[in-house]
Each structure stands twice: as structure tokens, then as C-alpha cells.
């Protein structure tokens, strides 16, 4: 995993956050997490989860929470499988 | 097969719903009020002789050939200018009329060259036909009277000639240029015998304002304006109705043929998108199909630095399949993918995504819509529930206000642009939001009521400030919103829009648009009657592209401009089949019909039909594919009919991604830029060589019909099928109609679509199913597809791409009329005479401060890269903003654009790049290196000479 690629993913997460944090009836973190779940390829999700595990530098506010939700979703899916 | 002769009714159809009954030659005829007698007669089967009349144009009444007699009225009025009346009794053929018509024809013929046998229009000349129709047997004035002026032939236009000596001064060409095209390039100069058609101020056509749409040539009843192809080849002997392969308008053409040779492409009057009109691309720029650069033999190579080696189809397909299988065995199922083409048919696109999902076993499929209209899909699906425009093109005829945002229809969608201009000349109001002064802002007989010349990257700020005016000035259509939209969401949105920080005055510092202009435009849009929004890539290709689409959708809902003719939200699609490629499941997260791959019930339907277990996870988008390639997890791809290296942003990043892959398979007509990095080249077929369908910007599915055998041996869908079979996934379609049957079976919106129905109807707008058996011209009529319309808060988030001391200017890119996308097709036609190279438009102020003069070489640089091209000093741009096109690989404009993209879809931010422009001596080092690499990469190994044994 290259640093530039992870930087790009972090940038994308925060950019998605810049939309969802202004939506009045939607929890921003939930919105970001669902968006990523819906549109990101699994390897991209894996990379961002690994980045979170490594400290999650650059993930701000709801973006960080979103990736935590994504981590929980992933773990739940694994345990359900 | 024979030539398709369309009936010419002489004058346009009346839209009146009031019917009038009259008798023509004793036969009772009922037609709409406002119909001409000429048209009524033709509808009853009686063809009144005519020369200056044609049903594409308003009546003119100059040739005096269409005279009639009406009982109870004096004289012999022209039937083209005489409207029907209840109880009218008309006679079209009397002794008096016969005498008069013969006399008129004698006058015409007395000054017309009688070289019919060698004339290029012999057999296709209305003057010749009318001489026969009136029974002309002699010309009492002799044949050597004063001849029409003969200053020689103007052959300056690459596609048609103008021969004044054959002109009968019917003015059909002049009127076609005005009424149909709306360019006003032609007039009649001189009087009497000296009258001639004059392009501009009696200049050659190529030096005039003529845009070479061909309407004048089509309208000409003689050989005065004639296609050079007809002069060279002769008249056609059969024709086939098909659909243009350029731009999202989707014009219907008659391909007029002699054997397997195209003689000319004539716009088809029954074409519901173009209504008989065309542009310089569709009408004339089809010669690329037989260009010498065309590759017709498959080629392979182990390494991109090797020369190509020509091989059999079997070897090339097996080579590709073996490589793909080996990559998957080593790097996993998700290590390969594919790209579908918006230039290919629905059936071909469907098959590529099926290949990826079923044969490759993943969802790594994407399409060029990623880099153009993917935000349209996201935005309109979120707000309305459908990833498509709401109207048909005819809807413009009912619009009172037209709001054009980030689109340049007269260049990008010229035939629709002409239809729009026609409506504007009839009195509809126009609002333009664009950083450039596009032609619509001010051109002959069209002037925008408001031009909001915003700074690039501020669409959301501008649209939210428009919404602010609508909300705070009480211009919301509350009845519509209460009935059709989610009221709670509306209230949230209205409260947001009403905040002072979103007012035009507050937003002016971002947009640069004077607040009063915004207020005026908002009031006009909300109160001016039927208001329609048309938008293009100036909306979508931004970091907030999807938000902008939703802001547009909000505005239309708030003012009630949705769900009927004349209104709506209309994305103008770039390539011919962008809509179709999206419909066909080209995105990595959804199956055909926009259904997510994780929806079990949907996926199970596809699994059952395709006999394979399918991946429930979304795949990679194109930019993610490149990232993954550089990262080492994506190693191979199949690219059908797209040149991602030239069209996608940040060229150096693309090169890095493509270079990192082990097997790139390119299927195309030519060795395009992407092919420089390919290991397998599969020759593709043109739209003239295949059957299938395209879907245009109005959701109209239209037939593409084969008029010649594929020069490469196969239609593109057949090649995909061969690859699937070689990959071990069986496909056995015999004809594209079988693929459409499968699409219909799997996709509810297409359930009623068959090739048979398309043959019967000509075209169908989806949804077409049990609820809408004949298709759906206007969407959301009784309610939104998603149920209640959804208002979305659209906070303005400035792009991170900002100008500064190092890169003080903002670059925005786009296209021009004569070239198409990466230019692979149009650069291989005479269209390049209009645009032989990309130019950098720069404001005189910015040019002067840099010592740049018109025509100088300049270096254009950004944080991504640099290129050099010539400058065009122009006031179309505001100071601080520069513009260029991306049609020429010599320039590679995308080496400058960045990796910033739309937050929701990763659609690149082509429209905002911070740049510097400085004088230069010529191409940059990078351009020269690329050119050298490209030249080497295109080497084709010479076949070994076989020496015959003695």
C-alpha cells in the first residue's frame, strides 16, 4: 500500500464528509460510512481501515467516526458470514 | 433495398388542435387550422408543383409555381402561403394553372445551364422534376438568354461546392441557415439577374460564418450546393436509416449508399431528436471509417516497448484470455477489469459489463461517464429517483425561459443548440451561467437576458444564491412542493437557502456575479412561465459536481418546473451513448437499470440468467483502477472504444497506472494514445459496420443499422463474445437483438424494448414497460420516481484547487464544434481544417501582462504537468481564466489537469485547474518525449517474407 494512495483515500473520506456533515436529518458519520460501503471497492475499504488501525492520521471529526462505523460493519458482516 | 424518399409536404406541420375541413380537387380533406393548402393537398396525396417550398422551412411564396385556384376567390394564390379555411374548395390543376406554371418554368429554364447529363444532381434535381411535372417541352425565350452569374465554383468548404450559375434564387439555403440552423451566414446579394447567394459579405464559404451544418445543401433544389462526395461518386442507389455516432443528441440519418460505399449522410426528417437537421460532424465527418490509419488486423506484443505483431483473431483472443487468466491465478479474481464505451452500442456495452461480472468474476467495470456525467446519475437519482434527464428535445418548443448552465450547446450539441436558438428567436428568455461568453450569450437574433459569468468552481454558490432569492422573495411554488415533495426536507432546505450567507450579495465574493444579475435571473426563472434547465459538463466536472446537480434539481422542484412539457432538468450528454452505457450497468456498483450489486434479489436474477455466482461488492472506478495498478493490486484491463490516456485527467498518473499493468487490451478503430500502453490490440468496427442501439440524452433508444461489412471482420459485440468464450464463459449470441432481449428480460425499465418495436416506432424513450408501452417522453409527470421529491442541502465547499502566486490563472477545458472528444474520429476527417490544433484562449489583459500575442506559443503549467500550445487572445474569457480543448494528442491538455474529483463519484475536476501561462518557443520536453515514445510504440513488425519453394 503506497502512502500517496492512502493519502488520496483520506482526502476522499473527508471530501465525502464535507457533504454529509451539512445534511440535517442524517448522521454525518453514518452517511459517510454508507456512501463508502456502497461505492468503494473492498481493497480501498481495507486500506482505509488499516490506516485507521495505524492511527488514522488526517481523518477528521465525522470522517474518523465513519471509518469506525465501517470497521464495525465489516466485523459484523464477517461474524454473520 | 432502395432509396428512402421522404415526403416533402412543402410547409411545416401546424400544431393547432382545431381541425378544418376543405375540398381539394373535389376530395374532402381535414387538417389542423393553420395548415397551408400545399400541405393539405400533399396529405391528401396531391403534389402541387413547387420549387421554393420545403417542409423544413416556413413558406416563402417566391417561385410562383405552386399556384392554385380557389372557388369564390380571385386570382391564383400560392398554395404555400395560403392557409386552409373551412369549406374552401381548391383546384390544383386547371388549364389556367397549367399555362401559368409552364410560363414560370420557361423563365427558370431560360437562364439555367442545360448540362443535366453531366450535372452532379442529375436524377436528384427538383428543377428537373418540376420541368417534367409541368410538361415543359420548349422554352420560347431560347436557351441563350442572359445567364445567371457565373463567377466560378466555390470549393473552399471541404465537403460541398457552391456553383452560382445553377442557382434559381429560391432562397431555400438562406432560409435554412436562418430558420433551421440559426447562424444567418447566408443572404442574397444583388438584384434581378445579378442575384446570388452570398456567404457573409460575398466571401468564400470557408471564410464566412458558415458552420457547415449542411442545412443549405440539403435544402438546395438544384446542384448549386452539392456534396463533394456526390460529385465524386454519383447519386446513391439505396439508403438505410441509422443513428449518428457523435454527441448525445443522437441525430437520425439516412446513410445513402452506392453498394457498400457511403455517398452521403442525410438527416432524417422523422428523426425525433434532430427533426431533419444535422451538424458538421454527423453530416460530413464519417470518412474516418475508411481512413488509412484504421487498424483491421489484431496485434499482440509481450512488452509495450516491443513493436506490434500482426496475428490471427484466434491468436490475439487466446493471448489476451491466457494473460488475464494467468493474472487472476497469481493476483486474485479482482486484479483485472474492463471499461465499456459510450461510443459503442447498448448491446456491446451490456456485453462488456457482463464479461467483467460473469467471466472475470468481479465488478471492476467502469465507463467514460465516470469522467463526464457520473454526478448526473448520483444527483438526479438522489433527488428524483432516476439517473436521467426529464424531458424530450421537443420540450424546448414549449419553454418560456431557458437556463443554460455549464453547457455550450451550439458547439457541444449543435443540433439541439439550433432547436434551442429557434425557440429563443420565437421569444423565450435566456439565462446563461458560464465562465465563458459562449455563442448563446450573444449571436445573431439571440441574446441572453442574463449572463452570469461566474468564476470556475463556484456553481454551488451561484445556484444556492438563486435558491435564496426564490425562497426569500416568495417565489416558491408551494402547491407543487406540498403535493410532490417531502415537505420536511423542503423546509430544511428552504431555511438553509434563506440564510443571509447564501444571499447573492454574500455569494458575490465567491462567484464574481453581481447580486442584481443573480436576483434578476432567479426572478425570471421562477416567474417567467415554463422554465427549463439544460446543463453540461461545466456542472458535473467539479469537486462538487454531484452537489451542483442536486442544487439544480432543488431549484426546479421549488419552482414547480418538473413533470410537464417545456420545463425540467436536462443533462446534455457528451458522447453518443453516455446515457445508454450508464443504463447498461457500466458502473462498478450497479447492474443494468441502476440497481446496486449488493441487492440480493436483483443479483439473484442476474445469477439465474447468467449461470454464475456474482460479486456483491462494488468494483473499482477508473481512477481507482489506476491507483490500484500503481499499488500493484490491479494488473490487467480490457478497454473497449475509449482512449483514457487522452481523455482522463492527470496524464502522467494515467501513464504510471497503465505502464504498471501486465496486460492491457485495447479494442479500437485506431492506435489511440491508450494503445501505446497496450499488449493486445483488437480492431474495432465503426457505427456504419454494426447493428445495435444507442440511447441519447433524452433517454431515446434508437437503432444503429449496419450499412457495410466490418472492415475488421467483426462487430464489437462479437469480439467481446470471443473473449468471453476464451475466458471459459460461454456466450452464443447470433444477433444484437438477442442481447437486447436479454437486457429487456433483466431490466424493468427496458422490459418493453425489442428490435421489432424499434423498427416499428423508430425510437423509444425509456422507461418502456407495461405501464408505459410506448415509452416515456416526459418523466415525473404524476409524481417522482422515488416517491416524494427530495430536497438536499447544498453547502458550498470551495475546491481545494486554488490559484495563487505560482499558478495565478484558472484553466477550464471543453470542446469545440468541429472536433469530437479525443478527436480520434474527427481528426481523421476534413473537420481538422476548422481546428487543426488545440489553442489556449486567454484574455487580452492576461496576455498583455505576459507579453503574449495572438498565435504565440505558450507554456501552460500546473502542479500536475506542463504542455505548450498556441495562444488565442480572446475576450470570451474573463481576466484570470483561460480555456482550451483536449482534442489533439500533440497537446495532451490533460497532462495539466489534476487528480481532484467530485466527492460522490470521482468525476474529475476538469473545469478548475490553477495554471500559469508563459511565452514559449514550442513544444515542451515532455511533449517531445511523449511523441517519440508514441512513435516507437506504434511500430508494426513487418511480416516475414515467405519464399516459395522451387
Give me the helices (H) in B142-278, please.
172-175, 215-219, 228-233
The answer to whether the bond into A20 is cis (omega within 30° of 0) is: no
Give the strand pairing for B365-367 and B442-443. Answer: unpaired
Cell for B831? Answer: 473537420
Closest by CA position to B831, among listed B281, B288, B277, B208: B281
The answer to whether residue B681 scores a pLDDT higher than 70 is: yes
Average of pLDDT values for B513-531?
Answer: 98
Q: Which domain holds residue A8?
A: 3-80
- Give the model's pLDDT for residue A77: 87
All residues at 6 or more sequence positions from B56 whose CB lies less than 8 Å from its CB, including other chains:
B12, B176, B179, B180, B215, B218, B219, B269, B276, B277
Q: A8 to chain B nearest CA, in Å?
A: 9
The answer to whether residue B91 scores a pLDDT higher than 60 is: yes
- Give the model's pLDDT for residue B801: 95
**CA separation for the pair B497, B494 (Å, rounded):** 5
A78 touches chain B (CB under 8 A): no
**Residue B31 β-bridge partners:** B20
Task: Confirm if B410 and B393 have CB atoms less than 8 A apart.
Answer: no
Number of domains in chain A: 1
**CA separation for the pair A55, A51 (Å, rounded):** 6
The answer to whether residue B950 scores a pLDDT higher than 60 is: no
Closest by CA position to B130, among listed B75, B165, B170: B170
**CA separation for the pair B14, B471 (Å, rounded):** 40
Instruction: Taking each helix axis as running N to C, give the angle between helix B459-472 and helix B487-498, from 0 to 180 degrees, rounded to the nearest 10.
Output: 100
Question: For B86-95, B109-118, B711-720, which range has the lowest pLDDT when averaged over its residues?
Answer: B109-118
Q: A1 to chain B nearest CA, in Å?
A: 6
| Number of continuous H segments (helices) and E segments (strands) in chain A | 4, 0
Task: Confirm if B861 and B807 have CB atoms less than 8 A apart.
Answer: yes
Burial B31-64 (b: 16+ CB within 10 A, else e): bbebbbbbbbbbbbebbbbbbbbbbbbebbebbb
Interface test with A, best of B624, B656, B791 (most A CBs within 10 A): B624
Q: What is the pLDDT of residues B397-428, one digit of tens each?
A: 999 999 999 999 999 999 999 999 999 999 99
Do the Cβ atoms of A19 and B547 come within 8 Å? yes
Cell for B208? Answer: 464566412
**CA separation for the pair B286, B266 (Å, rounded):** 12
Cell for B694? Answer: 444507442
Do the Cβ atoms of B899 and A23 come within 8 Å? no
Do the Cβ atoms of B624 and A18 come within 8 Å? no
- Which chain A residue is nearest to residue B798, measuring alpha carbons? A18
All residues at 6 or more sequence positions from B702 whose CB lies less than 8 Å from its CB, including other chains:
B243, B250, B252, B273, B693, B694, B695, B696, B758, B762, B763
For residue A79, the tally of other CB atoms under 10 A from its CB is 7
- Give the model's pLDDT for residue A1: 42
The DSSP element (H or E) to which B526 belongs, if any, is helix B515-527
Would the CA dihedral through B422, B426, B432, B436 be positive or negative? positive
Tell me the residues of chain A between 14 and 53 that have a Cβ less than 8 Å away from chain B.
15-16, 18-19, 22-25, 35, 38-44
E strands present in B768-849: 809-814, 839-842
Task: Confirm if B534 and B474 have CB atoms less than 8 A apart.
Answer: no
The DSSP element (H or E) to which B738 belongs, if any, is helix B736-746
All residues at 6 or more sequence positions from B410 whose CB lies less than 8 Å from its CB, including other chains:
B417, B418, B421, B438, B439, B440, B443, B817
Q: What is the pLDDT of residues B695-712, one digit of tens each?
A: 999 999 999 999 999 999
Instruction: Taking each helix axis as running N to C, give the angle between helix A61-80 and helix A28-39, from 0 to 180 degrees, rounded to the nearest 10.
Output: 50
For residue B473, the tally of other CB atoms under 10 A from its CB is 13
- Give the model's pLDDT for residue B149: 72
Q: What is the pLDDT of residues B581-599, one digit of tens each?
A: 999 999 999 999 999 999 9
In chain B, % of residues over pLDDT 90: 95
Q: What is the pLDDT of residues B867-907, one digit of tens each?
A: 999 999 999 999 999 999 999 999 999 999 999 999 999 99
The answer to whether residue B851 scores a pLDDT higher than 60 is: yes
Q: What is the pLDDT of residues B440-485, one digit of tens each?
A: 999 999 999 999 999 999 999 999 999 999 999 999 999 999 999 9
Of A15, A22, A43, the CB nearest to B543: A15
Count contacts between A and B (CB, < 8 Å). 64
Task: Confirm if B843 and B877 have CB atoms less than 8 A apart.
Answer: yes
**CA separation for the pair B489, B792 (Å, rounded):** 7
Whether the model pTM is above 0.90: yes
Would the CA dihedral through B931, B933, B937, B939 be positive or negative? positive
- Chain B residues inside the 8 Å CB shell of A43: 334, 620, 628, 633
- Chain B residues inside the 8 Å CB shell of A19: 546-547, 795, 797, 903-904
**CA separation for the pair B69, B77 (Å, rounded):** 7
Instruction: Quickly state the pLDDT bin for B948 (edges 50, 70, 90).
Output: low
In chain B, % of residues over pLDDT 70: 99
Average of pLDDT values for B98-120?
Answer: 93
The side-by-side arrangement of strands in the sheet containing B299-300 is: B309-310, B299-300, B680-683, B663-668, B636-640, B336-340, B365-367
The DSSP element (H or E) to which B317 belongs, if any, is helix B313-331
**CA separation for the pair B675, B652 (Å, rounded):** 15
The DSSP element (H or E) to which B491 belongs, if any, is helix B487-498
For residue B103, the tally of other CB atoms under 10 A from its CB is 13
- Chain A residues inside the 8 Å CB shell of B489: 25
Q: B618 to chain A nearest CA, in Å?
A: 5
Average of pLDDT values for B613-640?
Answer: 97
Closest by CA position to B853, among listed B917, B916, B809: B917
**Average pLDDT score, chain B:** 96
Task: Confirm if B881 and B898 have CB atoms less than 8 A apart.
Answer: no
All residues at 6 or more sequence positions from B482 whose CB lies less than 8 Å from its CB, including other chains:
none
Q: Quick one: three-class SS letters along B530-584?
A: CEEEEECHHHHCCCCHHHHHHHHHHHHHHCCCCCCCCCEEEECCCCCCHHHHHHC
Could you read off the pLDDT tens digit of each residue along chain A, which spans 81 residues? 455 789 999 999 999 999 999 999 889 999 999 999 999 999 999 999 999 999 999 998 999 999 999 999 999 988 887
**CA separation for the pair B252, B515 (Å, rounded):** 43
Do the Cβ atoms of B628 and A42 come within 8 Å? no
Do the Cβ atoms of A5 and B588 come within 8 Å? no
Task: Confirm if B485 and B792 have CB atoms less than 8 A apart.
Answer: no
Interface test with B, best of A19, A47, A70, A78 (most B CBs within 10 A): A19
- Chain B residues inside the 8 Å CB shell of A41: 334, 364, 588, 617-621, 624, 628
Interface test with A, best of B615, B903, B906 (most A CBs within 10 A): B903
Q: Quick one: three-class SS letters along B5-56?
A: CCCCCCCCCCCCCCEEEEEECCEEEEEECCCEHHHHHHHCCCCCCCCCCCCC
**CA separation for the pair B149, B195 (Å, rounded):** 8
Q: What is the pLDDT of residues B561-577, one digit of tens each?
A: 999 999 999 999 888 99
- Give the model's pLDDT for residue B944: 67
Q: Angle CA(B887)–CA(B647)–CA(B927) in degrees, nearest 5?
A: 65
**CA separation for the pair B39, B8 (Å, rounded):** 9
Can you tell me which residue has the cell 499488449?
B679
**CA separation for the pair B453, B164 (Å, rounded):** 43
Q: What is the pLDDT of residues B661-673, one digit of tens each?
A: 999 999 999 999 9
All residues at 6 or more sequence positions from B755 whose CB lies less than 8 Å from its CB, including other chains:
B693, B703, B736, B737, B740
- Chain B residues inside the 8 Å CB shell of A44: 620, 624
**CA separation for the pair B717, B710 (Å, rounded):** 12
In total, chain B counts a number of residues equal to 950
**CA separation for the pair B753, B77 (Å, rounded):** 48
A77 touches chain B (CB under 8 A): no
Instruction: Taking each helix axis as running N to C, give the angle between helix B374-383 and helix B545-558, from 0 to 180 degrees, rounded to the nearest 10.
Output: 40
Q: Angle CA(B185)–CA(B394)–CA(B266) in degrees, nearest 5?
A: 55
Of B624, B903, B905, the CB nearest to A44: B624
Average of pLDDT values for B208-222?
Answer: 97
CA B42, chain centre distance (Å)? 33
Amino acid at each position: 500500500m503506497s502512502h500517496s494512495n492512502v493519502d488520496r483515500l483520506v482526502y476522499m473520506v473527508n471530501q465525502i464528509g464535507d457533504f454529509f456533515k451539512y445534511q440535517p436529518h442524517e448522521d454525518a458519520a453514518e452517511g459517510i460510512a454508507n456512501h463508502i460501503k456502497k461505492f468503494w471497492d473492498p481493497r480501498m475499504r481495507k486500506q482505509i481501515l488499516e490506516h485507521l488501525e495505524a492511527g488514522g492520521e488526517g481523518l477528521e471529526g465525522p470522517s474518523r467516526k465513519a471509518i469506525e462505523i465501517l470497521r464495525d460493519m465489516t466485523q459484523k458482516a464477517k461474524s454473520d458470514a | 433495398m432502395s432509396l428512402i424518399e421522404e415526403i416533402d409536404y412543402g410547409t411545416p406541420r401546424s400544431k393547432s388542435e382545431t381541425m378544418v375541413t376543405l375540398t381539394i380537387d373535389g376530395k374532402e380533406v381535414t387538417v389542423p387550422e393553420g395548415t397551408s393548402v400545399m400541405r393539405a393537398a400533399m396529405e391528401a396525396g396531391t403534389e402541387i408543383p413547387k420549387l421554393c417550398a420545403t417542409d423544413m422551412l416556413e413558406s416563402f411564396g417566391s417561385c410562383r409555381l405552386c399556384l392554385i385556384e380557389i372557388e369564390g376567390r380571385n386570382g391564383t394564390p400560392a398554395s404555400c402561403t395560403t392557409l386552409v379555411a373551412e369549406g374552401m374548395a381548391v383546384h390544383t390543376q386547371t388549364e389556367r394553372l397549367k399555362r401559368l406554371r409552364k410560363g414560370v418554368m420557361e423563365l427558370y429554364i431560360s437562364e439555367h445551364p442545360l448540362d443535366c447529363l453531366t450535372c452532379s444532381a442529375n436524377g436528384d434535381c427538383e428543377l428537373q422534376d418540376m420541368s417534367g411535372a409541368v410538361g415543359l417541352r420548349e422554352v420560347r425565350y431560347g436557351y441563350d438568354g442572359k445567364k445567371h452569374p457565373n463567377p466560378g465554383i466555390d470549393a473552399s468548404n471541404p465537403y460541398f461546392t457552391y456553383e452560382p450559375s445553377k442557382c434559381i434564387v429560391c432562397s431555400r439555403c438562406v432560409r435554412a441557415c436562418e430558420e433551421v440552423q440559426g447562424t444567418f451566414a447566408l443572404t442574397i446579394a444583388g438584384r434581378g439577374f445579378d442575384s446570388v447567394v452570398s456567404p457573409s459579405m460575398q466571401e468564400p464559404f470557408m471564410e464566412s460564418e458558415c458552420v457547415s451544418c449542411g442545412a443549405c445543401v440539403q435544402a438546395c433544389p438544384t446542384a448549386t450546393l452539392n456534396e463533394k462526395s456526390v460529385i465524386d461518386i454519383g447519386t446513391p442507389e439505396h439508403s438505410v436509416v441509422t443513428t449518428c455516432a457523435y454527441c448525445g443528441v443522437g441525430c437520425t440519418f439516412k446513410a445513402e449508399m452506392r453498394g457498400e460505399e457511403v455517398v452521403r449522410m442525410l438527416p432524417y426528417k422523422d428523426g425525433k431528436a434532430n427533426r431533419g437537421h444535422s451538424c458538421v460532424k454527423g453530416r460530413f465527418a464519417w470518412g474516418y471509417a475508411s481512413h488509412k490509419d484504421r487498424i483491421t488486423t489484431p496485434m499482440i506484443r509481450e512488452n509495450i516497448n516491443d513493436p506490434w505483431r500482426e496475428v490471427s483473431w484466434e491468436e490475439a483472443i487466446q493471448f489476451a484470455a491466457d494473460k488475464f487468466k494467468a493474472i487472476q491465478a497469481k493476483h486474485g479474481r479482482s486484479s483485472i477489469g474492463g471499461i465499456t464505451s459510450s461510443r459503442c452500442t447498448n448491446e456491446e456495452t451490456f456485453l462488456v459489463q457482463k464479461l467483467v461480472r460473469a467471466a472475470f468474476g468481479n465488478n471492476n467495470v467502469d465507463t467514460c461517464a465516470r469522467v463526464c456525467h457520473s454526478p448526473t446519475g448520483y444527483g438526479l437519482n438522489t433527488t428524483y429517483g432516476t439517473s436521467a434527464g426529464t424531458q424530450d428535445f421537443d420540450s424546448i418548443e414549449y419553454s418560456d425561459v431557458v437556463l443554460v448552465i455549464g453547457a455550450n450547446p451550439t458547439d457541444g450539441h449543435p443540433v439541439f443548440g439550433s432547436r434551442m436558438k429557434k425557440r429563443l428567436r420565437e421569444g423565450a428568455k435566456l439565462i446563461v451561467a458560464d465562465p465563458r461568453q459562449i455563442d448563446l450569450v450573444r449571436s445573431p437574433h439571440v441574446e441572453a437576458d442574463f449572463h452570469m459569468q461566474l468564476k470556475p468552481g463556484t456553481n454551488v454558490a451561484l445556484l444556492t444564491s438563486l435558491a435564496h432569492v426564490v425562497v426569500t422573495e416568495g417565489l416558491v411554488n408551494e402547491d407543487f412542493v406540498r403535493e410532490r415533495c417531502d415537505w420536511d426536507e423542503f423546509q430544511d432546505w428552504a431555511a438553509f437557502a434563506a440564510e443571509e450567507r447564501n444571499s447573492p450579495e454574500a455569494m458575490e465574493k465567491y462567484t464574481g456575479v453581481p447580486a442584481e444579475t443573480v436576483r434578476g435571473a432567479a426572478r425570471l426563472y421562477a416567474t417567467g412561465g415554463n422554465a427549463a434547465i439544460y446543463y453540461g459538463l461545466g456542472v458535473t466536472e467539479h469537486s462538487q459536481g454531484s452537489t451542483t446537480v442536486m442544487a439544480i434539481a432543488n431549484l426546479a422542484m421549488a419552482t414547480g418546473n418538473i413533470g410537464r412539457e417545456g420545463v425540467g432538468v436536462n443533462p446534455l450528454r457528451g458522447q453518443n451513448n453516455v446515457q445508454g452505457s450508464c443504463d447498461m450497468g457500466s458502473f462498478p456498483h450497479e447492474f443494468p437499470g441502476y440497481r446496486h450489486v449488493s441487492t440480493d434479489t436483483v443479483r439473484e436474477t442476474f445469477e439465474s440468467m447468467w449461470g454464475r455466482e456474482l460479486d456483491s461488492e462494488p468494483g473499482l472506478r477508473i481512477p481507482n483502477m489506476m491507483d490500484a495498478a500503481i499499488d500493484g493490486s490491479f494488473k490487467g484491463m480490457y478497454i473497449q472504444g475509449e482512449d483514457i490516456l487522452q481523455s482522463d485527467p492527470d496524464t502522467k498518473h494515467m501513464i504510471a497506472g497503465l505502464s504498471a499493468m501486465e496486460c492491457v487490451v485495447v479494442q479500437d478503430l485506431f492506435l489511440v494514445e491508450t494503445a501505446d500502453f497496450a499488449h493486445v490490440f483488437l480492431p474495432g468496427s465503426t457505427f456504419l459496420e454494426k447493428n445495435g442501439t444507442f440511447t441519447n440524452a433524452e433517454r431515446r433508444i434508437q437503432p444503429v443499422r449496419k450499412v457495410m461489412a466490418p472492415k475488421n471482420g467483426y462487430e464489437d459485440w462479437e469480439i467481446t463474445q470471443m473473449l468471453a468464450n476464451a475466458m471459459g464463459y460461454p456466450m452464443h449470441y447470433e444477433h444484437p437483438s438477442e442481447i437486447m432481449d436479454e437486457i429487456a428480460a433483466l431490466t424493468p425499465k427496458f422490459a418493453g424494448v425489442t428490435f421489432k418495436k424499434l423498427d416499428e416506432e423508430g425510437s423509444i424513450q425509456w422507461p418502456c414497460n407495461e405501464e408505459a408501452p410506448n415509452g416515456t417522453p416526459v418523466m415525473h409527470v404524476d409524481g417522482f420516481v422515488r416517491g416524494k421529491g427530495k430536497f438536499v442541502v447544498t453547502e458550498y465547499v470551495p475546491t481545494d484547487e486554488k490559484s495563487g502566486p505560482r499558478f495565478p490563472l484558472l484553466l477550464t477545458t471543453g470542446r469545440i464544434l468541429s472536433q469530437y472528444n479525443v478527436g480520434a474520429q474527427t481528426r481523421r476527417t476534413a473537420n481538422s481544417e476548422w481546428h487543426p490544433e488545440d489553442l489556449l484562449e486567454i484574455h487580452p489583459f492576461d496576455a498583455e501582462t505576459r507579453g503574449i500575442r495572438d498565435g504565440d506559443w505558450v507554456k501552460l503549467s500546473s502542479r500536475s504537468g506542463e504542455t505548450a500550445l498556441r495562444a488565442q487572445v480572446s475576450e470570451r474569457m474573463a481576466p484570470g481564466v483561460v480555456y482550451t480543448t483536449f482534442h489533439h494528442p500533440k497537446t495532451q491538455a490533460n497532462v495539466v489537469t489534476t487528480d481532484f474529483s467530485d466527492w460522490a463519484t470521482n468525476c474529475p475536476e476538469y473545469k478548475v485547474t490553477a495554471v500559469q501561462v508563459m511565452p514559449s518557443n514550442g513544444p515542451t520536453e515532455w511533449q517531445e518525449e511523449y511523441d517519440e515514445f508514441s512513435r516507437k510504440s506504434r511500430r508494426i513488425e513487418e511480416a516475414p517474407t515467405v519464399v516459395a519453394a522451387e
